[in-house]
Structure formats: structure tokens, C-alpha cells
Amino acid sequence: MNTDKNTIIGFVLLAGLFFSYFWFTNKQQGELATYKKHFEDSVALVKSTAQKAADLKAATVLAASSNGKVSDSVLADTIKEQFFVLENELVKVKLSNKGGQVVGVTLKNYSNSTKQLVQLGDSSSLNYPVNIGNNQTAQINQVLFPVVHVLPTENGVQKVEFAYTTSAGSTIIHQFSLAPNKYNIDWNIILDGADNLLTNHQLNFLWEAHSFKQERTLNYERQMSNICYSEGSEFDYISSKTTKTFEKPVQWVGLVQQFFNTTIIAKEGFSSGKIDWQRRIDSSNSLAALQSQLQTKVSGNKANVSLSLYYGPNDMKILKSQAPEMDKIVNLGRDLYSFVRPINKYIIRPVFDFFAGFVTNFGWVVLLLTIFIRVVTSPLTYSSYLSSAKMKVLKPELDEIKKKLGDDQQGFAMEQMKLFREAGVNPLGGCIPALLQIPIFFALYSFFNSNISLRGQAFLWSKDLSSYDVIATLPFTVPMGFGNHISLFTLTAVITSLIMSVYNMSMTPTQDNPALKYMPYIFPFMLMFIFNSLPSALTWYYTVSNIVTLLLQFVIQKFIINHDTILAQIQLKRKTPKKKSNWQSKYEQMVDAQKKVQDLKDKTKK
């Protein structure tokens, strides 16, 4: 790789894309502050209305009648809140007879940053209004279900049923079931007397959900949080916007954080709905809050609405079995960087899984993946190494031209272009390695940030490959994304990048322009700020990639490319007739015009 002007353009483009990407993702958080007050006021209004309705019903409490029917009150003094548990190998689900719903889920195989088991759904509620008689409406999350049945287990499936009967004889049944080795809880809502219980035969769900910090860095996890959904059987998501009104039927909606999600799935779909959400920007451990209004139509006086509640990891294989398009919750590339999703889906992920199948330590899996990428792409960069070898052969002649022309930069550029054309050297060849790194880097950035198999995996001095490693903690915070720590893998990535720059400089013609001279050294310095807070799997990859690239360059240039043969080919090329390309002609005309203008200025000064 050469550090001529075109190579520098490649470096600048690469750095610009890096900074643009991280600026774009960080910018989203600031946009949410404008909507914060409006969103919280809306939530407070909804809660206040629901609470007033509950207080009104509680003031008219009647005791349960002897025939087993419950009065039209929402709360009865003789009924107390009780909790029930469904549990399998993966999750522990806590249910309450207040509202007859899930009030918390513990993931038994995952721990958070404080070494406690991951808790999901413990501050969420799924509510809908019902007509309980006497022209009164109750919110279901305020209803204390008086009848609870723990049903017999069938084929390992555990079931709990909550029942509530109004004085008018209408019955509401919430039936929950949990199968072995499953993260999702099936929820059937059975309405006997739907004509009386519902208005216009429509269930109006209000789902309020909150996500909380599970990983090491709060702000980074907030940045990774978003809302995903399937509308019209097509996946989409919300990242910076705070409101979404659905125009097509909705299959599922999920509150997503970096490695986990809470998702409600309607087996028959929701007919319409709306979402309001925001990332938190305060000092609490809350990541984001969601308020979703979802509607579904029911038919007949006896209706059955089937839902599924998923509380679990962002694992593509598991999510794919939950609902169509749900595996796209795992971010392998979106928006401007959606072009890297096919790279991740069809190359990076299968190769990673292949190596992980027989290598237990994921640090070594990343190393093998890196070697695979560099070996596969080496033929594409061979022309770059060949261009570097030609430049090295031409270096003495370029030095002579530079010595002859002195400070005449424009004259040197003309002679350099002429020499390149005679020798058949492509000055753009040195850009290939830098440009090739762009899609690969962004693909791996998405892959390592969303790959839950890396979470909590230790390697060398890193305790968690899905987060940055720390060898020293600073007593202050360095801006521009650096943070208050120093990552050793970042240092190794920067040092190997610097070594590459020095190695390539030794094969580059003398360059007196300071901007071009020092750019190869500035770029590794910029990597310090870009990489220091990124997953150590990514900085480990970059380190190995640099080392492999250096080895490949050394082997190709020392043992594969014969410099004497190249010199002979260049001499032969000079003897053949040359035909200028259009861009060469235009470039020479431009440089010649600039030279004439400069000569005229010099004469005027004299």
C-alpha cells in the first residue's frame, strides 16, 4: 500500500466514514431530549386516568356473591394479590392475579453487569379496558382475579389460568402456558360475553414497558436500544423517531436493548396501533420506555385472542422460531450500512459459527475468522502489493526527478504522471487495502455489537469480548468517545497500524508535502478515539488483521514479487507505444495550466 495522494484520499475517506458513522449514532440521543417532556406528560396522563378509574371502582366495593360471581368492583376486600410461578430450564416467570398477567421474568442462563440474573418485564404492564356492568369500565390491570387454576402439566407444558366473572355473567379468562426450553409464554385471552365486555368488539391494548441496564456501559447500551416491529409482514424499527402510527396490520412489537428484548406477538395480528417511546437521558439505570397502543378485532360473543410474550436473548436462531422477520431484531446492518448485512448473514456469521463449532474460546474464533478474511481477500489486494513493488522500483528515478526540479511541485507532478504512464503503474492501486477495509469493518462492527455469544466471554486480559477491555482507569473522562479508561487491545490495534504506516512509507517516493507526510501517522492516532470504547472482539480483530496484512505484504514482496522482473517489465513497457486515457490527458492539461499560471506569477513578481 502506498502513501501517495490517492492512498491518502483512501485513508481520509476511511476515517471520514468512521467518524460519520459514530457521529450519526450518537446524534440520535440528542434528538430525543426534545420529545422527553411531551412523552412523560402523556404517560402521566394515561396513568392518572387509569388510577382515577381504579379509585372510583374501589370506592364502590361489593363482596363476592355466594354463587361464585364477582361484583362489578375492580378490587374486592376479600381478594388479595397473589403470585404464581412457571419455570423451565431457561426462564422463571412470575404471574400475578392482579390483572392476571406476567409481572417479571428471570433469565436463568444470563447475568448482568452486577453478576445478578437478568430480569425482564418487571416494570411492564399489558392493559385493556372492559365493561364490567352498570355502565362502568375497568382497566384489566386493576382487576383482582378471584379464581386461579393451576392446570395439569401436559407434555411438559405448564399452565396457569386466571378467571373473573362479572355480576352480569360475562367471564374473562387469562390462560398462560410455558413449554420446556422456551423463552416465550403463550397467553390466551378468553372472553365469554364479548358483546358486553368490549366496545365495538375491539380489544384496545395499552402496553407499557421499560428496559434497564444489563451491560457495563449505560450510554452505549442506550445507544444500542431501539423499537423493532413487523408491519404488513415486513420488518422495520425506530431508532431516532419517538412516535410511529401503524398503517398496516402489525404482527409483533419489541422493546430491544443490546442483547435482550421484550416482544409481544399477536398470532392473528393487531389491526392497528401506535407507538411512543424514548431513550432515557437521565442518570438512572433505565434505558428506554415504551407506550404502545394496539388494537385487535374480535368476533362472536365468545372470543379467543392468542398472544405470545417473548422475554429473552437476541439470538437469531431462537428469534427466527418466534415469528416471521423477528430474527432481524439482531442488527447485522441497517440504514446507510444495510449493505453489510449480506456480508454478515452469508459470510461472517456462517464462518464464525463454523469455527465456534470446534473452538471453545471465542477469542481464538475471532482470530481464525480474521485469518480467513485476510486470506480470502488477499488476491484482491495483490495488485496493490504489485503497485507498491513498482513504486519501490521507480523510487530512485522519482528521487532524481525531485532533485532536478527542486520546489517545482507542479513540474514534479507532471513528470511523475509521465513516469507512471510509461511504466504502467496504477497510482490508484494503493487505495485498495484501505477501501476494502471499509465494508469489512462496518460488517464486523455490527456483528460483534449484536452477537450475544461473545457476551461475557473472556480472552487474554479482556473479561468480555462484547465490551471494551480495561488495563487502566483514568480519574477523568476524555471527550470524543475515548472515555475514562485505556483499552490494551486498542493500543495493539493502533501500534500495528503505525507499524504498517512506517513499513509502507519505506516503499514510497519522497514526499515533501507535510500533509501527506504525516497523514499515515495521524490516522493511527485517530483510531485511539474511535476504538477505545468499542468491543474488544473488534479491536482484537483489527490487531490480528494488521499483523496478517504485514506478513502477507512481506511474503508477497520478498518471495513472490521479483523486483528485477518488474524492472525488466517496466523497461519493456516504456518501449511500447502509449495511448493516454481521457483522465490522464485531462489531468496533465490541468497540471500544465496550473504550471503556466504559476510561471506567470513568478515573472510578475520579478
Question: How do residues 191-238 score in pLDDT, each as one tens digit?
Answer: 998 888 888 888 999 999 999 999 988 888 998 899 999 999 999 998
Q: Is the pLDDT of residue 37 over 60?
A: no
Q: Which amino acid is at 505?
A: M
How many Å apart are CA 304 and CA 184, to the nearest integer? 19
Of 72-86, 176-190, 348-362, 552-566, the poorest mean pLDDT is in: 72-86
Per-residue H/E/C for 234-279? EEEEECCCCEEEECCCEEEEEEECCCEEEEEEEEEEECEEEEEEEE
- DSSP 8-class letter at 460: T
In tens, the pLDDT along 336-348 reads 888 899 999 999 9
| Residue 492 binned pLDDT confidence (cut-offs 50, 70, 90) | very high
How many Å apart are CA 54 and CA 41, to the nearest integer? 20
Computed from CA positions of residues 395, 401, 404, 408, in that sequence, does the dihedral angle turn out positive or negative? negative
How many Å apart are CA 70 and CA 167, to the nearest integer? 6
In tens, the pLDDT along 371-409 reads 999 888 877 777 676 776 677 777 777 777 777 777 777
From the list 444, 352, 431, 515, the residue with the least C-alpha distance to 21 is 444
Q: Is the pLDDT of residue 556 over 80?
A: no
pLDDT at 282: 83
- Greater model confidence, 605 or 480: 480
Average pLDDT on 407-428 reads 71
- DSSP 8-class letter at 296: E
How many Å apart are CA 547 and CA 533, to the nearest integer? 22
| Residue 151 binned pLDDT confidence (cut-offs 50, 70, 90) | confident
Cell numbers describing residue 522: 495521524
Computed from CA positions of residues 588, 591, 596, 597, in that sequence, does the dihedral angle turn out positive or negative? positive
Q: Is the pLDDT of residue 537 over 90?
A: yes
Q: How far is CA 412 from the centre of its chain?
A: 48
Cell numbers describing residue 11: 485513508
Cell numbers describing residue 486: 485505556
| Residue 43 binned pLDDT confidence (cut-offs 50, 70, 90) | very low
3-class DSSP state of 490: helix
Q: Is the pLDDT of residue 292 over 90?
A: yes
The percent of residues above 90 in pLDDT, for the chain, comes to 38
Q: Which amino acid is at 522?
A: I
Q: What is the mean pLDDT of the chain?
A: 79
Q: Is the pLDDT of residue 421 over 60?
A: yes
Mean pLDDT comparison of 38-42, 79-83, 479-483, highest-scoring range? 79-83
> Phi and psi dihedrals of 98, rounded to 5?
-85, 105
Phi-psi region at 337: left, alpha or beta (left = phi > 0; alpha = psi -120 to 50): alpha
Choosing among 3.40.50.720, 3.40.50.300, 1.10.1740.10, 2.70.98.90, the CATH entry for 60-330 is: 2.70.98.90
pLDDT at 12: 58
Of 279-283, 309-313, 464-468, the poorest mean pLDDT is in: 279-283
In tens, the pLDDT along 49-101 reads 444 334 433 333 322 332 333 333 344 445 688 999 999 999 999 999 999 99
| Residue 254 binned pLDDT confidence (cut-offs 50, 70, 90) | very high
How many Å apart are CA 588 and CA 410, to the nearest integer? 10
How many Å apart are CA 66 and CA 79, to the nearest integer? 14
Q: Is the pLDDT of residue 46 over 60?
A: no
- Greater model confidence, 581 or 50: 581
Cell numbers describing residue 280: 432515557
Task: Report the half-sphere exposure of 50 (CA within 13 A, side-chain side).
Answer: 19
Task: Give the domain ranges of the chain.
Answer: 5-24+341-598, 60-330
- DSSP 8-class letter at 345: I
* Angle between helices 349-356 and 362-405 in degrees, nearest 10: 130
Query: What is the residue-wise DSSP string for 350-413?
Result: HHHHHHHTT---HHHHHHHHHHHHHHHHHHHHHHHHHHHHHHHHHHHHHHHHHHHHTT-HHHHH
From the list 295, 256, 282, the residue with the least C-alpha distance to 452 is 256
How many Å apart are CA 422 and CA 413, to the nearest integer? 14
Q: Report the predicted TM-score, pTM, of the whole model to 2 decimal places.
A: 0.77
Q: Is the pLDDT of residue 40 over 90?
A: no
The residue assigned the cell 501517495 is 4
How many Å apart are CA 356 and CA 349, to the nearest integer? 10
